[in-house]
Structure 1
């Protein structure tokens, strides 16, 4: 049983190698709670806040791209509520996640920033623009769309199956290895990150995702926007990603020839187009006046 679980996990997860992972710490957000944040790169460079996908963490989703971005940007990650070491709340919504992100920016003294979101994080980025006018220099929307499908009842079964496969391996990991131990093997580190989010919360996350829909106001978005389309995506189909390009005035298309986990499992092909997508909006956005 255990050997079968190990073989299945190795087949499912081949994460990008660990390289220069920034250290992080817990940050107090007055009136909201505490969340885990990393803040790396030049402090006087344009700020980019990276917003992660469902069932991951800020570092697990984004660690492959951080070293390259740090050459020219201040890069911030956070764990969204009920994910990893994020805020421990009784419920979950993308609206709250958007407000949490702006609270992180406030706590770090960041006025305007580029929001780069992967999948769920792309919905959060769009809500930051809508709920907090003038805070964004631009958006980079990766493997995401203007809405998410209603929760498929089969998805919980898949999450449960992954949990059953992963848990025996997790129990075999050295007890001395913790979430912040980047000297561990990549797979060890990645599984500890993944299992720091409660899999039974998947239904709650699905409900939160299902309530998001930006189609009625996409045409009002007035900040530079890059859309990075994952052309082999079976979770958020490319046709749904294209709706962002069709709906957001002046949005620019970038492509990665990968599936929905391309930010980590296909990172070799993701890093360069993602960096180009950030470059296309981040600098230009700092030159534009904020929305009143």
Structure 2
């Protein structure tokens, strides 16, 4: 997508969501032995369950979740952070879903949180699944939004992901150097406030805080993810928000995932893959409903 098309799309989205003046402030947190990432921790009501929000590919925690933060914070302690190679997330020699899953546990350790519900969107849903599989004692519940459990099923998908993976592998070291250079030019902290009518400018800044080279590597790695063998072993309460007009993640695959996780509730919205922002008026109520369904079963 060209810059002009990106700008036009973001201006359209800015007209469709509340033109709030700011988002909650966060801080850079060092995760021992792993690296540093930008973390936002919203206290919420006393004694409320903790919710960790995990964003999608090419996004930041703020950009993916800001339309829902105020409503979620009325009911939960809300934690969100930039995942590896995104925004101000951890920079590492390579990107892996397992590392992202372990980052979730590391963030909980850094904040002194024993357990949390993981709510993930797209890539964030994949990371939530991996975190639940690798750290079942830390993930008390799952809310999976616009999420696949595998990618390579049909021949076109296999061809795309295998070719993309080969391209990403060939340019891996070069990509990492470019990602490091890109990250070095970012302001240390993101903007959290803006003037009236400037939401589109803020959103474009957030979108541009992730390198295209990083996105290439992330897609190359995530395409290999497949939870088929262990999906049915997940025991924590789970809710699945299915985007029924999604052109990125097949609807039938989202539904398959929901039926394979024991006891998962299903929440349908007539929206596309960018519903978290572009159709927030549909997504946020469904997200609240799904989070509530999981919290009620804890």
Q: How does the TM-score come out when normalised to structure 1? A: 0.84
Q: Measure, in 2, the Cα distance between the counterparts of 1:139 and 1:250.
A: 12
Residue-pair matches, total:
262
How much does 1:284 deviate? 1.8
The aligned counterpart of 1:94 is: 97
Stretches of structure 1 that go unaligned for 5 or more consecutive residues are: 157-175, 286-292
Rate the CA distance shift 1:11–1:281 in 2: closer, same or farther, 3 A.
same
1:65 is paired with a residue whose SS is helix
Q: Measure, in 2, the Cα distance between the counterparts of 1:228 and 1:85.
A: 27
* 2:24 and 2:192 in contact (8 A); partners too: no
2:70 is paired with a residue whose SS is helix
Q: Is 1:9 equivalent to 2:6 in the alignment?
A: yes
* 1:226 and 1:252 in contact (8 A); partners too: yes
* 1:145 and 1:243 in contact (8 A); partners too: no
Q: Measure, in 2, the Cα distance between the counterparts of 1:213 and 1:154.
A: 16
1:214 is paired with a residue whose SS is coil
Q: Is 1:50 equivalent to 2:53 in the alignment?
A: yes
Rate the CA distance shift 1:32–1:54 in 2: closer, same or farther, 3 A.
same
1:144 aligned to which of 121, 144, 147: 147
Structure 1 stretches of at least 4 aligned residues deviating more than 4 Å after TM superposition: 149-156
Q: Measure, in 2, the Cα distance between the counterparts of 1:65 and 1:96.
A: 26
**Deviation digits for residues 137-174 of structure 1 (CA, Å, limit 9, x no counterpart):** 21000001211355556999xxxxxxxxxxxxxxxxxx
* 2:121 and 2:144 in contact (8 A); partners too: yes
Report the RMSD for the aligned CA atoms in angstroms. Answer: 2.2
How much does 1:5 deviate? 5.1
The aligned counterpart of 1:31 is: 33
Q: Following superposition of structure 1 onto structure 2, how do residues 122-141 of structure 1 map, counting pairs within 5 Å? A: 122-141=125-144
Q: Measure, in 1, the Cα distance between the counterparts of 2:206 and 2:240.
A: 27
1:210 aligned to which of 211, 223, 227: 223
* 1:83 and 1:198 in contact (8 A); partners too: yes
Rate the CA distance shift 1:217–1:5 in 2: closer, same or farther, 3 A.
closer
Stretches of structure 2 that go unaligned for 5 or more consecutive residues are: 153-157, 168-186
Rate the CA distance shift 1:147–1:267 in 2: closer, same or farther, 3 A.
same
The aligned counterpart of 1:70 is: 73
**Deviation digits for residues 173-202 of structure 1 (CA, Å, limit 9, x no counterpart):** xxx9x8324214111111111111101222
Rate the CA distance shift 1:35–1:276 in 2: closer, same or farther, 3 A.
same
Q: Is 1:188 equivalent to 2:201 in the alignment?
A: yes
1:232 is paired with a residue whose SS is coil
How much does 1:245 deviate? 1.4
* 2:55 and 2:122 in contact (8 A); partners too: yes
Q: Measure, in 2, the Cα distance between the counterparts of 1:280 and 1:181.
A: 31
1:37 is paired with a residue whose SS is strand
Q: How does the TM-score come out when normalised to structure 2? A: 0.83
* 2:23 and 2:192 in contact (8 A); partners too: no
Rate the CA distance shift 1:247–1:259 in 2: closer, same or farther, 3 A.
same
**Deviation digits for residues 202-244 of structure 1 (CA, Å, limit 9, x no counterpart):** 2211122112110111111101100000000000011110111
1:264 is paired with a residue whose SS is helix
Q: Measure, in 2, the Cα distance between the counterparts of 1:9 and 1:82.
A: 21
Q: Measure, in 2, the Cα distance between the counterparts of 1:138 and 1:78.
A: 18
